[in-house]
Amino acid sequence: MTPYAFALGVLLGIGLWLVLASTPRFGRRSLVERVAPFVADVSPGARTVLDRRASDPAMVFAAMIEPWSAQLRRIPTMFAGTQTVALRLRQAAWRRGAERFRFEQLSLAAGSAVVTVAVLLFTPLDAATPWLAVAAPILVGTAASSLAELVLRRAAGRRLARIDEELPTVLEFLTLSLTAGESLLDAVRRIARSEGGELSGEFARAVADAGAGAPLTEALAGMRDRLAHPPLTQAIDQVIGAVERGAPLASVLRSQAADAREAAKRRLIESAGRKEIAMLVPLVFLILPVTVVFGLFPGYLVLQAGF
């Protein structure tokens, strides 16, 4: 009865957790929650506070383990590449910090290991060897942690790929706006008002920073540092340099748009070359063996029948 008692205990714990998560919170709101709606357009921290969901079970769990929060904050420092994770979170536009991601990654690994242990408890002892009982939770937890890293890397890569696709069009639109007589801030604001693009949201944050009193060049530099994407970094550096030197922005942006178009063509050619090599895999390992079998098998049967 021990495996069944363990499973029922896990189900009871999950049920109590969900009940606590759905319980409304009573009491006076904190000062941060009262001030956040008024500074949400200029403060990323305020936007994070407003985006919180009251029914998030992680908040209940965090409140339960708050006495040990100082020790838990030291856990992300044990992992390497925290700055890389923070950069990928910004590139993927995930509104969470590196510590939060590391904590969720650790929770996923621990939960996967616990589920593996529970599955092994229901497995007959003859089939579960001692080394499997020890190695399986570790391997499953490591795989779950690696899966979280892979999902983040894929999300950041897909968003950067969309930015690469939008960059030439955005640069050409900026060139058109400047040629029509608008200022750089008005042109950037016009792009920020457009919907359905990744760069429009980033330019909207830059416009919000500029509206809060920061120079436009510093706002664009902050956008560059947030994404740290080489094509976008090169374009923004050229724009900032042209503004500081007083060079004509329209010609600079026109050349940057042409360079972005050429870079997109090179990426397309490189992708086509990789796809061409990938097409050889089914040809060599599937189509060619079947063709050889269809060509030689009848002769093999004739030889067998003749002798």
User: What is the helix (H) or strand (E) element at residue 205, kind and residue range?
Assistant: helix 198-211
Separation of alpha carbons 27 and 295, rounded Å:
80
Question: What tokens were used for 34?
Answer: 């009262």
Residue 165 in contact with residue 229, Cβ under 8 Å? Answer: no
pLDDT at 25: 58
Separation of alpha carbons 50 and 53, rounded Å:
8
pLDDT at 80: 43
Separation of alpha carbons 202 and 222, rounded Å:
10
In single-letter form, the type of residue at position 146 comes to S
Max CA separation in the chain (angstroms): 95
Separation of alpha carbons 296 and 307, rounded Å:
17
- Each residue of 190-199: b (16+ CB within 10 Å) or e? bbbeeeebbb
Q: Hey, how many other C-beta atoms are within 10 angstroms of the C-beta on 218?
A: 13
Question: What tokens were used for 191?
Answer: 């792009």
Separation of alpha carbons 238 and 70, rounded Å:
44
- pLDDT in single tens digits along all 307 residues of the chain: 566 677 778 878 887 877 776 665 555 667 787 788 788 777 877 777 777 554 555 555 555 555 555 555 555 444 546 788 888 988 888 888 888 888 888 888 888 888 888 887 777 655 556 677 778 888 888 898 889 889 999 999 999 989 988 888 888 888 888 888 888 888 888 888 886 788 888 888 888 888 888 888 899 999 998 888 888 898 899 888 888 888 888 888 888 888 888 888 888 888 888 888 878 888 888 888 888 888 888 887 878 777 5
Nearest to 55 by CA among 25, 29, 28: 25
